[in-house]
């Protein structure tokens, strides 16, 4: 029922979902980019509803408190503690995410490496370290407001951070965000 409603809403707003689903993505990290608007979550969730895939996403733990938790937790939100580690008792983001992958046969987690809806020229690289540590691929998800299409694109089996970021930059250079002035590919590799 929800899938039919989502398809109806997408069709009536002129949006489509890219039907080319990469094979065997039942355990992966999905990069959710560009991330310049809160609407990005809606289109990402709509795409996964059409794909009939359950996606999880990381979100600041502050957003997972009542009353927001009533909506975000059923949608797949995973609270992330971003406070500084003082005594080493809290596992790092990479350790926590790796453990999640190791403890689940199927797990798709969407991550926004930009870290914010504002312009950020240097993306967070935790997704790369999690993918390497958990031995899972990185799938490039996208929301293209220029073409009004959302979907999953290239699959990357990360070897080096430089190679991964170069492939991501090339892919996302063809995607139009809702607010282009708020989006920048990672520029940390450029001298």
pLDDT tens sequence across 19-62: 888 877 889 999 988 887 888 877 888 888 888 888 888 777 88
The mean pLDDT of the chain is 83
- Please tell me what DSSP assigns to residue 91: P
Looking at residues 112-137, what average pLDDT do you find?
82
Q: Convert the pLDDT of each residue in 17-26 to its tens digit.
A: 888 888 778 8
Which stretch of 21-35, 151-165, 172-186 has the lowest confidence by average pLDDT?
172-186
Token pair of 157 as six digits: 């089996």
Q: Model pTM?
A: 0.83
Sheet architecture: strand order including 77-80? 16-17, 149-156, 138-144, 27-33, 107-111, 56-60, 77-80
């Amino acid at each position: 029922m929800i899938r039919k409603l989502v398809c109806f809403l997408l069709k009536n707003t002129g949006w489509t979902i890219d039907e080319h689903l990469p094979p065997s993505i039942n355990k992966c990290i999905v990069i959710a980019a560009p991330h310049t608007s809160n609407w990005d979550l809606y289109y990402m969730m709509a795409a996964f509803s059409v794909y009939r895939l359950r996606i999880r996403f990381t979100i600041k733990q502050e957003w997972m408190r009542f009353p927001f938790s009533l909506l975000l937790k059923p949608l797949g939100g995973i609270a992330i503690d971003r406070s500084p580690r003082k005594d080493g008792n809290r596992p790092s983001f990479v350790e926590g995410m790796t453990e999640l992958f190791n403890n689940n046969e199927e797990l798709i987690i969407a991550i926004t490496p930009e870290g914010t809806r504002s312009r950020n020229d240097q993306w967070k690289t935790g997704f790369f370290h999690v993918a390497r540590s958990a031995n899972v691929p990185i799938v490039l998800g996208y929301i293209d407001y220029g073409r009004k299409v959302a979907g999953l694109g290239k699959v990357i089996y990360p070897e080096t951070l430089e190679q991964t970021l170069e492939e991501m930059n090339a892919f996302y250079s063809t995607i139009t965000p809702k607010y282009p002035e708020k989006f920048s590919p990672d520029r940390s590799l450029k001298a």
